[in-house]
A and B are shown apart, each in its own frame.
Chain A
Amino acid sequence: MPPGLDNLRHIVVLMMENRSFDHMLGSLTAVDPRIDGVTDQLSNPDTTGALVKPQPLAQFQGQLDPDPDHHFPAVDLQIFGGDTSPTRVANMQGFVKSYFNQQQDVGHSQKIMYYFTEQQLPVLTTLALEFAVFNRWFASIPGPTICNRAFAHYGTSFGRVDMNLLYLNEPFKSIYDRLINANPKHTAKLYYYDTTSSTMEITNLLETQSELFGTYPQFLTDCSTGNLPDYSFIEPNFNDHDSDSGEEVASDQHPDHNIQAGELFIASVYKAIKASPLWPNTALLVVYDEHGGIYDHVVPPACTPDQFTASANDTGTGQPFAFDRLGVRVPAILISPWIPKGTVVDGRVFDHASIPATITKFFLGDYWPRSPRETSADVFIEPNVAPVDPTRNLLSLAGMRDDCPDFDV
């Protein structure tokens, strides 16, 4: 049995906000050509017809204001370039046009093509180069936050493509419900930053099962005391606010929140796990919920349709949506001391339904019922049950690494 899988007891997911793969990690193609990021061949037309290339000019804050539109109709324009014909083909040519629609400013609209340099993002790029970076992890829906995060919790958004509430009594249980009601019982917790940031999109769970929730300080304590649950989901701070410990800057990296505050937060999560006695037994996934309207060059692939359909009225495009293709690509990195340095996961497609799919398969094995999207999603950690396919096992080292990086946070 691979020792990495044999030792694995805890899986932690940190989900950040609204940044595309090319925007955050696109610069790494120059460091490792296996990473599918930004090249000189890429461009988008602006509204004058001029071609705009991706440029390493992204700023930490103040540049993507107003918040780029990432609701369903806008993402449709970004992916299909404005073609609404029945025979249209996705080409990722509508990002500048979409951003232009918000301010009618050609110069400002071009900023949607900007990306960060490796040096600007020392935490995210280091983790990507040191552990396993996914070349094909997509948002679950070409739409906004709430429905995309629902896929991480439920394996579906129950037919929704917008920011509306998720209701109770839906046909599929959350990953938390599944774990804590299993026999034998498992443990799960959703750590939100603090009560002033609270949780983002599963208010219905907070309303009915508040014992599932903890704060970020509790996560730090659970790490240091070796008391992490089997599964942890961490949310960053979603707003600027005062607290007993001082001024708290939003760390979610949602435009126009500060990128460096998010870098610090990612580093602090990593550091807490690495300093924990549970480091040999824990895998951390850092992933973004959706692209936030920001440019990426990879066409989202088709996928197994969900059993729900969003109506033409709900999508706002005049066409219904069967949840049969994915959203725009986002950064995703899997971290464990059992992963070889410089792992690039290529040739496999993941989306946020991969999260409950992986957690369920790893901790519970077979489970029913689950959504068609979840049951067809690829898993990023295989269970430690023979036979383990070595080509799919990312925690493949025979011995634990002792050269994993540290951050001065």
Chain B
Amino acid sequence: MTLIHVPRPDVKSVMNPNRPVNALLKAQVQHLHAAERNLPVRRRTDIYVNAIKTEGEAAEYIRRVTEAIHEAHEAAAAKRGRGIAIAAAAEGSGDKAPSASRGKKMSKGKRARKT
């Protein structure tokens, strides 16, 4: 078994968050900006994407939108879970409340309106 040495770049000399964004990062910012428009208003950033000029600025915007997307999904999943739990409890108590499957559909309908 051979152990191969891998040289490490000097992070201090190669790190440059002030580097102008390349076309790829510009496209990524635009893609996430399109996704951001579908987020609930309270989860959107107040960043003007056309003013993003450096990798560091792009990175900050990308982080905030990616986190917001995940948080929005988690919130929706939690709401869905609560709907299922409420419906299941009602069914278990013998009430004529919506069934678990109906609860699911209602939850989905709510999400659809939000987006």
Give chain A's interface residues, CB within 8 Å of chain B: 17, 60-61, 67, 71, 122-123, 126, 144-146, 163, 165, 195-201, 203-204, 206-207, 210-211, 238-242, 246-247, 249-250, 254-256, 258, 260-261, 263-264, 267, 402-409
Contacts and interface: CB of A to CB of B under 8 A. Distances in A.
Contact of B3 (A60, A195, A201, A406): A406
A60 B8 CA distance: 11
Nearest to B62: A198
For the side of the interface on B, what is the size category?
Answer: 35 or more
B4 A210 contact: no
Contacts of A264: 6, 8-9
B101 interface: no
B19 A240 contact: yes
Interface of B: 1-9, 11, 14-17, 19, 22-28, 30-32, 34-35, 38, 55-56, 58-60, 62-63, 65-67, 69-70, 73
Interface SS of B by simple majority: helix
A67 B23 contact: yes
Given A165-B30, A203-B34, A206-B69, A241 B3 contact: no
A197 B6 contact: no
Given A195-B63, A207-B35, A210-B73, A240 B6 contact: no
B69 A210 contact: yes
Contacts of B27: 145-146, 163, 201
Contact of B9 (A197, A261, A404): A261
Contacts of A123: 4, 6
Contacts of B59: 196-197, 239-241
B24 A254 contact: yes
Contacts of A246: 11
Counting from the closest, the 7 A-B pairs by CB-CB distance are A241-B59, A203-B31, A163-B27, A196-B63, A198-B66, A260-B9, A210-B73
